[in-house]
Homo-oligomer: A and B are copies of this chain.
Amino acid sequence: MDFNPSSEGASVLKKVTEFIESKILPIEEGYFKELRALDNRWVVLPVIKELKKQAKELGLWNLFLPKSELGAGINNSDYALMAEQMGRSFIAPEIFNCNAPDTGNMEVLVHYGNEEQQQKWLKPLLAGDIRSAFCMTEPQVASSDATNIEASAIIDGQEVILNGTKWWSTGVGHPDCKVIIFMGLSDPGASKHAQHSMVLVPMDSIGVKVERMLSVFGEFDEPYGHGEVSFTNVRLPKSAIIAGVGRGFEIAQGRLGPGRVHHCMRAIGAAERALQLLIERGISRDAFGKPILNLGGNRDIVANGRIAIEQARLLTLKCAWLLDTKGIMGALSEVSQIKVVVPNILQTIVDQAIQIHGGAGVSEDVPLTALFTYARCLRLADGPDEVHRSMVARIELKKYYNLIKKNTK
């Protein structure tokens, strides 16, 4: 057994951590102040461009991509620890070109894109020149059940025609967002997992319209944002389809394994940040003659937080290691397990940090409400807790298949 990263991983991790601590964390508060003061917040501030340039020059770029010919060649378990560090800042993932949903989209293009698609979209994404969005969830149906998807991607001769409305399309508000990956129903008559296709849609296609940007707990998360996007008779050449008609589900499945590890490790970084804020506040303020942290059960909160984070991190690292060593099919349960655990512990710790802060905790003076919102949304994004619990149970019960069969005879 060995709980350490590889020596190469450790070396890159050190650089990433130092970059975040010396370059990103010190400017984050100022960045948001500057952004909030703008009338139009849907812009990329110079500080972001500058930091991206520096990170790229240092080779701290596309770290999430295990394939060395395109990315940094770092495996999932080593990268996981870097993602955790990035999760300590809201802007760090972008700086290292490791931001969702671009990471997942790039992975899709790496694994399923053809030469032309890679040239056109993957290359500028890897370079950090453009951004992308992913359109799957729909407002009119319970999208936790992916077979509910109603938007269509119908083949018409050499073209594919898209219709429908998507929402929670994260990143669609970004000024550099140039391409959408769209999931639509191609053939309702096909077998359950062969009905959908994924299509690459240029943002400026005729018929694509961002109907509105959605607020989350009152915030729009500029300059990325989350959009409601309508697709009205959007006509594209068939070559816009990724991997072939009817392979949407298969691609979605493969896309989600590493993506969930990334999400969860960033959430663990966020949880560490929340715990740190909780402790610093609890030490710095006195009530009833003692530091707040020494009152009642507050130290137990610290202990429980530490324990929860340690366990969640180990589970996520093991999941990443399984992805590295056994692939997605060897990590199906774990991928769902971390998706249940990590956002929930983050939400709990942030809630407790808010409580220790008193009124300040719900204000803009500390980043706790932003962390809370992040946690709360992560319990819905990429499948709600319930769907993942259900998946974990299903896999567990398969071990008892013979007993089940006997009982149901």
A300, A312, A384, most chain B CB atoms within 10 A: A300
A407 to chain B, nearest CB (A): 6
Interface presence of A377 (CB below 8 A): yes
User: Which residue, of A6, A334, A351, A359, has the highest number of chain B Cβ atoms within 10 A?
Assistant: A359
Is A361 an interface residue when CB atoms closer than 8 A count as contact? yes
A303-B214 in contact given A2-B1, A314-B311, A315-B314 (Cβ < 8 Å): no
Closest to A295 in B: B386
Given contacts A303-B340, A400-B279, A216 and B362 within 8 Å (CB-CB): yes
A interface: dominant SS: helix
Given A142-B287, A307-B341, are A361 and B380 neighbors across the interface (CB < 8 Å)? yes
Residues on B with beta carbons closer than 8 Å to the beta carbon of A129: none
Q: Is the CB of A287 within 8 A of B145?
A: yes
Q: How far is the CB of A328 from chain B (nearest CB, A)?
A: 17
Give the residues in chain B near A3, CB-CB below 8 Å. 1, 318, 321
B217 touches A362 (CB 8 A): yes
Q: Which residues does chain B contribute within 8 Å of A364, judged by CB atoms?
A: 214-215, 218
Select one of B296, B321, B369, B408 contacting A297, CB under 8 A: B296
Taking a contact as CB atoms under 8 Å apart, the answer to whether B369 and A355 are in contact is: no
The digit string for A367-391, where 1 denotes a CB below 8 A from any CB of B, is: 0010011001101100011101111
A48 interface contact, C-beta 8 A = no
- Please name the residue on chain B nearest to A148 by beta carbon: B287
Which residues of B have CB within 8 Å of A54? none
Within 8 A of B (CB), among A238-255: none
Bound CA span A293–B403, Å: 13
Residues in chain B near residue A389, CB distance under 8 A: 296, 299-300, 303-304
Q: Specify which of B78, B137, B145, B359 is in contact with A288 (CB 8 Å cutoff).
A: B145
Q: A273-313, CB under 8 A of B: which get 1 and which 0?
A: 00000011001111110011101111110111011001110
User: What sequence of 0s and 1s flags, for each residue 1-42 of chain A, a beta carbon within 8 Å of any chain B beta carbon?
Assistant: 111111000000000000000000000000000000000000
Whether B283 and A403, one on each chain, are in contact in the complex, defined by CB atoms closer than 8 angstroms, is yes
- CB pair A373–B379 under 8 Å, yes or no, is no
The answer to whether B167 touches A359, judged by C-beta atoms less than 8 angstroms apart, is: yes
State in angstroms the CA–CA spacing of A363 and B139 once bound together. 11
Query: With a CB–CB cut-off of 8 A, which chain B residues contact A396?
Result: 279, 302-303, 306
Q: Is the Cβ of A355 less than 8 Å from the Cβ of B384?
A: yes
> Are A358 and B384 in touch, CB under 8 angstroms?
yes
Kindly state whether residue A74 has any CB partner on chain B within 8 Å: no
Q: Which of B1, B303, B351 contacts A317 (CB 8 A)?
A: B1
Residues of the B chain whose Cβ atoms lie less than 8 Å from the Cβ of A145: 286-288
Q: Which residue of B lies closest to A304 (CB)?
A: B389
> In the complex, how many angstroms separate the beta carbon of A19 from the nearest chain B beta carbon?
22
Q: Which residue of B lies closest to A385 (CB)?
A: B355
Contacts A362-B373, A384-B355 known; A397 to B293 CB distance under 8 Å?
yes
Shortest A142–chain B CB gap in Å is 4
A96 shortest CB reach to chain B, Å: 21
- Beta-carbon contacts of A317-341 to B below 8 Å, as 1s and 0s? 1100100000000000110010011
- Asked if A168 is at the interface (CB within 8 A of a chain B CB), the reply is yes
CA distance A302 to B397 in the complex (A): 9
Knowing A215-B364, A287-B142, A397-B293, say if A334 contacts B310 (CB, 8 Å).
yes
Q: Is A354 an interface residue (CB 8 A)?
A: yes
**A306–B337 contact, CB under 8 A?**
yes
Q: Is A283 a contact partner of B407 (Cβ separation < 8 A)? A: yes
In the complex with contacts A1-B4, A218-B218, A386-B295, A144-B307 CB distance below 8 A: no
Q: Across the A-B interface, give the 7 residue pairs with the lowest CB-CB distance, nearest first.
A: A297-B297, A218-B218, A145-B287, A311-B311, A314-B314, A303-B392, A299-B393
- A296-B299, A310-B318 given; 9 more Cβ-contact pairs under 8 Å: A1-B78, A142-B285, A145-B287, A214-B364, A291-B408, A296-B386, A296-B390, A297-B300, A311-B341
